[in-house]
Amino acid sequence: MNRAHLEWPFFEPEHRRLAQEVWAWARKNLGEHPETDVDRTCQRLVRALGEAGFIRYAVGGQAYGGAKETIDTRAVCLIREALAYHHGLADFAFAMQGLGSGAITLCGNEAQRARYLPKVAQGQAIAAFALSEPQAGSDVGGLSTLAQQEGGTYVLNGEKTWISNGGIADFYVVFARAPGSQGSKGISAFVVDADTPGLEVAERLEVMAPHPLATLRFRDCRIPRAQRLGEEGEGFKIAMQTLDIFRTSVAAAALGFARRALDEALARATTRRMFGQTLAEFQLTQAKLAQMAVQIDTAALLTYRAAWLRDQGRRVTLEAAMAKLTATEHAQQVIDAAVQLWGGLGVKKGQVVESLYREIRALRIYEGASEVQQLIIARELLKAYQKPEEVSV
């Protein structure tokens, strides 16, 4: 794959070195692994990524095993792009270590960080982010899981669903609301160990691209007050801050999938012969390949702009939404075009483009569906328009 984008001014020399290291490791270690047991494969990948030293980039705080004091968004994005290119489940395993522990990095106290983050960074503990519910996905303010405070403990009751790493995680960052509260107010965040009485895996969920997913049920699940992250009622803010870090990296994963699809399309187009010439010699094929390349670079520019801005300490709600929307939607189109160029083989199970077609679909939904990203972009535009004095030219 051509990695000329690493020369863009968004990156420091350390980012370029990291990218080369990840790509070399992925080529050596992420061959075609039949995923007959998704749970065991994911557990193996978490350990391998931890041993290779990559997960520490998804954890903040060097004292707790992180690569840096704060999470380097560009590093996370470069790692996800490389892993997604080679192995969708490897990307998933890496990303969920970051998302699942991100709230602890951001808002955990010293004891919480010391207890959980080193094991996450080393690949010795699997993390999960438990936000979505049967009736509350994109509408976080609609969640109904309750956290009733009783003395020095909280008692959780409710359900979470579509929880990545559900069933294999060692702990979950869970968001629940105080009884009687509404909307985004009254939501708090808690770290709940997987073996806590009252927490059960109600259902394992099978999806088109195999990943560990589950519905969790809380029945009088009692946890110490010391397991709350941040202050009472700060859960919504904690969730949004966590998603702001990792939403841009979803775009990077989509980039990895799209780049692999383009490479597969080029390989097919230049070797498949029909009507006396290669597929690549037809102008319609050339037009499609050109469109795919433009869509990938458009997405890459938005993705690494958002990552760079966040690493400068900027608020990137608008830029991250633009990156995720564009990268995931474009990747879907690029992969669909690759399947078309592969013809009948493109839908044969076991082909790379067929696997990519299944992998990309969920990215347009999780961590904020494309429609939600459009709403976020419009909201930010209107906010800026109503305060023109804050816009410099």
Residues designated catalytic? 367
Q: Which two tokens stand for residue 236?
A: 């919504």
* Start-to-end Cα distance in the chain: 38
DSSP letter string over 318-376?
Answer: HHHHHHHHHHHHHHHHHHHHHHHHHGGGGGSTT-HHHHHHHHHHHHTTTTS-HHHHHHH
Q: How far apart are CA 280 and CA 313, in angstroms?
A: 45
Q: Hey, how many other C-beta atoms are within 10 angstroms of the C-beta on 336?
A: 17
Q: Which of 57, 98, 62 is nearest to 247 (CA)?
A: 98
Bridge-based pairing state of the strands 187-193 and 228-229: antiparallel
Bridge-based pairing state of the strands 127-130 and 153-164: unpaired
3-state DSSP assignment of residue 153 = strand
Half-sphere exposure of 81 (CA within 13 A, CB side): 31
Dihedrals φ, ψ of 146, to 5°?
A: -105, 145
Q: Provide the residue type at 2 as one letter.
A: N
Q: Exposed, middle or buried, 114 (CB in 10 Å: 0-12/13-18/19+)?
A: middle
3-state DSSP assignment of residue 201 = strand
Dihedrals φ, ψ of 177, to 5°?
A: -110, 155
DSSP letter string over 281-308?
Answer: GSHHHHHHHHHHHHHHHHHHHHHHHHHH
Half-sphere exposure of 178 (CA within 13 A, CB side): 16
For helices 73-86 and 283-311, what crossing angle results, to 10°? 150
In this structure, what DSSP letter does residue 245 have?
H
Q: How far apart are CA 359 and CA 337, in angstroms?
A: 15
